[in-house]
Amino acid sequence: SQQGEEDPQALSIQEGENATMNCSYKTSINNLQWYRQNSGRGLVHLILIRSNEREKHSGRLRVTLDTSKKSSSLLITASRAADTASYFCATDPWNTGNQFYFGTGTSLTVIP
Amino acid sequence: DGGITQSPKYLFRKEGQNVTLSCEQNLNHDAMYWYRQDPGQGLRLIYYSQIVNDFQKGDIAEGYSVSREKKESFPLTVTSAQKNPTAFYLCASSIDRADSLTFGDGTRLSIL
């Protein structure tokens, strides 16, 4: 399987704390993306980082990419209860045409 | 506002029945995708289409069929050959392979 794997599977933190999620993948990629999914809804795109980039920021989100270790991390700073959701990484491998491969997700709970 | 509309939100299938899930987008995106989401397994690609009248199988195409007669529409038929169809089905679109995915809000399919 070319799916990525997120770690941890579940994370529970207090409001105001930072949340860090990790994604590991198996093959060389063009880019890696992070998505968020609220319960029973579709996924929403958060951020895209290309293979030649190492770090990217968007508001309270910080994404890093280490292509030598085939891993990425998503940091959410100053978390809010509204950040409670599942977070998925998706990779765009070199040799698979127009496909995106999603990981199994991290379920984040932010306690008010 | 532009987006992706999936219908119905909930669908029930009887044994031996084919059912069709609708996906319509007004984003003028060329590429469209169908994913299946099962608990704990992330998203798996069923079919994708890069242009009208062309589509490719994803990792789990058996028991499913699609058509792409119009740029805006990418319906998915779950055939009676799909023995375990109970899942959450997500449709997505993108401008091209280098871009992010925009998702609909999904159709939850169950067996009667």
Quote the strand ranges of chain A, DSSP E: 5-7, 10-14, 19-24, 29-37, 43-50, 55-58, 61-66, 71-76, 85-93, 101-102, 106-111
Spell out which residues of chain B touch residue A42, defining contact as CB-CB under 8 Å.
4, 6, 90, 92, 103-106
Per residue in A6-25, pLDDT (tens digit) is 889 999 999 999 999 999 99
Q: Between B31, B42, B98, which is nearest A88 by CB? A: B42
Average pLDDT in the B44-68 region? 95
CB contact under 8 A, B45 and A35: no
The yes-or-no verdict on residue A41 having pLDDT over 70 is: yes
Spell out which residues of chain A touch residue B103, defining contact as CB-CB under 8 Å.
35, 42-44
Per residue in B24-46, pLDDT (tens digit) is 999 999 999 999 999 877 899 99
Residue B107 is predicted with a pLDDT of 97
Per residue in A63-83, pLDDT (tens digit) is 999 999 999 999 999 999 999
Confidence of residue B97 (pLDDT cuts 50, 70, 90): low
The C-alpha atoms of residue A5 and residue A25 are separated, in whole angstroms, by: 7
The yes-or-no verdict on residue B83 having pLDDT over 90 is: no
- Could you tell me what percent of chain A has a pLDDT over 70? 94
